[in-house]
A and B are shown apart, each in its own frame.
Chain A
Amino acid sequence: MNTVEFTALVGVGSLLAGFLGALTGLGGGVVIVPLLALVFHVDLKYAIGAALVSVIATSSGAAAAYVKEGFSNIRVGMFLEIATTIGALAGAALALYLHASVIAVIFGVVLIYSAYTSLRHGPRALANQPPDRIATWLRMDGTFPGEHGLESYHVRGVPLGFAIMFVAGVLSGLLGIGSGAVKVLAMDKAMKLPFKVSTTTSNFMIGVTAAASAGIYLSRGYIDPGLAMPVMLGVLLGSLAGARVLVGANVQVLRYVFSGVIGVLAIEMIYSGITGRL
């Protein structure tokens, strides 16, 4: 296989990964790492480096649209980015000491959790939360464009949300993913943000979190240009296409199918990790 063929194959695979990631709401990174590691037999370090870069591209691209529409809560995002960036630096440092098989097993577990949450999310009634002292002091309460004009909401549980965000950052730095599922858990469950606000704010934060560990991965030589090029371009185009399909189409069935695919990838990652094939 020559370089052009390899690039084309990885590019097509990344296109599919980005498409899948956007449809399921899991993000491209979570699909690209198993794809590179299991199908293309790429070393986990290179796979994670390339995935991180694609994560920055898709999240920044999507965040550009959400921020303009006024869904993302910038103050909540900025404040929690302290936790995710510290976590990401810690995760990238941790990656040096953990064996590839351990990383593969953690990856598989996170993948299963992410696939599971993507199946059961949906808008919930969280209106009329009482104001919270810390959130009020941090001026986090906000508004978002709802069905009947601007709707306001109160933010709660800042310390718990901050703690979960640190974990999300560690996973992001360790595995090269956006860990959107954990971020949404922090904002949705702990901080009681409206669903649309927590998903878009999570997306807004993913770029910064990934950039924090990407700098370290770049200087460690994990980001290979020949590999990252088709991955970044493919995932970006795939996720743009996925976002288009998502508008209007009933994707519930597709979501089940893709979550099944991701579940299989997860088990394969864990199995490869345990048997030491990575």
Chain B
Amino acid sequence: MSEVTIQRSDQKMDEIMGSLLRTGVVLAAAIVLLGGVVYLSRHRVPVTNYRIFAGEPAEFRTISGIFHEALAFHGRGLIQLGLLVLIATPVARVAFSFFAFLYERDWTYVVVTVLVLGLLIYSLFGGHA
């Protein structure tokens, strides 16, 4: 009987996780597309030189800078916001797994998800400029 319950709760977790991933990707693609349209409609200049690496300016490198640019409805800011949503999608999936394992009282995997989540947050907010 308990076997059946475990199977069912895992299956529910799989379904929620699947929807979460799909929503994240669709939302990110939509924002990037919108940003792309804004960017190209206002930016008919000779193409940026990608041959030599110059690095992005601060407004496209930091989370606060990206939000600022996106709220101003600048094309490239919106694209970066979409990419940020995309990067956050797997992070949200790990965060969701954390709560799911907590609910199942699966302590080993609560620790596992905390470790992974910690590494991801360090990468996003660690400030590696």
Residues of A within 8 A of B (CB): 1-7, 40-43, 45-46, 53, 56-57, 60-61, 63-65, 67-68, 70, 72, 74-75, 78-79, 81-82, 85-86, 88-89, 92, 137-139, 207-208, 210-216, 218-230, 232-233, 236
Residues of B within 8 A of A (CB): 10-11, 13-15, 17-19, 21-22, 24-25, 28-29, 32-33, 35-36, 39-40, 43-48, 50-53, 55-57, 60-62, 75-77, 79-80, 83-84, 86-91, 93-94, 97, 106, 108-109, 112-113, 115-116, 119-120, 122-129
Is B123 a contact partner of A213 (Cβ separation < 8 A)? yes
Is A43 a contact partner of B51 (Cβ separation < 8 A)? yes
- Name the contact of A232 in the complex, choosing from B11, B40, B83, B122 (C-beta under 8 A): B83
Q: How far is the CA of A68 from the CA of B12 in the complex (A)?
A: 9
Is B119 a contact partner of A67 (Cβ separation < 8 A)? no
Q: How far is the CA of A225 from the CA of B83 in the complex (A)?
A: 8
- Looking across the interface, which residue of chain A has its beta carbon closest to that of B62? A219
Q: How far is the CA of A78 from the CA of B40 in the complex (A)?
A: 40
Given contacts A212-B119, A220-B61, contact A64 B19 (CB under 8 A): yes
Is B47 a contact partner of A3 (Cβ separation < 8 A)? yes
> Which residues of B have CB within 8 Å of A207?
21, 89-90, 93
Given contacts A46-B50, A63-B21, A225-B39, contact A220 B55 (CB under 8 A): yes
Known: A45-B53, A211-B123, A225-B35. 18 other contacts (CB 8 A): A3-B44, A3-B48, A61-B25, A78-B113, A82-B119, A207-B21, A208-B120, A210-B90, A215-B87, A215-B120, A215-B126, A219-B62, A219-B129, A220-B55, A223-B83, A224-B56, A228-B83, A233-B36
Is B50 a contact partner of A224 (Cβ separation < 8 A)? yes
Is B46 a contact partner of A65 (Cβ separation < 8 A)? no
Given contacts A40-B50, A43-B53, contact A221 B60 (CB under 8 A): yes
Q: How far is the CA of A227 from the CA of B51 in the complex (A)?
A: 12
- Name the contact of B14 in the complex, choosing from A4, A45, A67, A232 (C-beta under 8 A): A67
- Name the contact of B116 in the complex, choosing from A4, A81, A215 (C-beta under 8 A): A81
Is B45 a contact partner of A3 (Cβ separation < 8 A)? yes
Residue of A82, A85, A214, A229 with most partner-chain B CB within 10 A: A229
Is B108 a contact partner of A225 (Cβ separation < 8 A)? no
Closest CB-CB distance, A200 to chain B, in whole Å?
Answer: 11
Is A218 a contact partner of B83 (Cβ separation < 8 A)? yes
Closest CB-CB distance, B83 to chain A, in whole Å?
Answer: 5
Report the tally of A-B residue pairs with Cβ distances under 8 A.
208
What are 19 A-B contacts with C-beta separation under 8 Å? A3-B47, A42-B50, A43-B53, A65-B18, A75-B109, A78-B94, A89-B119, A92-B123, A207-B21, A208-B90, A208-B93, A211-B89, A218-B61, A220-B55, A221-B56, A221-B57, A223-B56, A229-B39, A230-B36
> Which residues of A have CB within 8 Å of B123?
85, 88-89, 92, 211-216
Is B108 a contact partner of A139 (Cβ separation < 8 A)? yes
Is B32 a contact partner of A220 (Cβ separation < 8 A)? no
Q: How far is the CA of A137 from the CA of B124 in the complex (A)?
A: 32
Is A226 a contact partner of B39 (Cβ separation < 8 A)? yes
> Which residues of B have CB within 8 Å of A67?
14-15, 17-18, 21
Closest CB-CB distance, A13 to chain B, in whole Å?
Answer: 13
- CB-CB nearest 10 A-B residue pairs: A221-B55, A215-B123, A221-B56, A225-B79, A207-B90, A215-B124, A68-B18, A64-B22, A225-B76, A64-B21
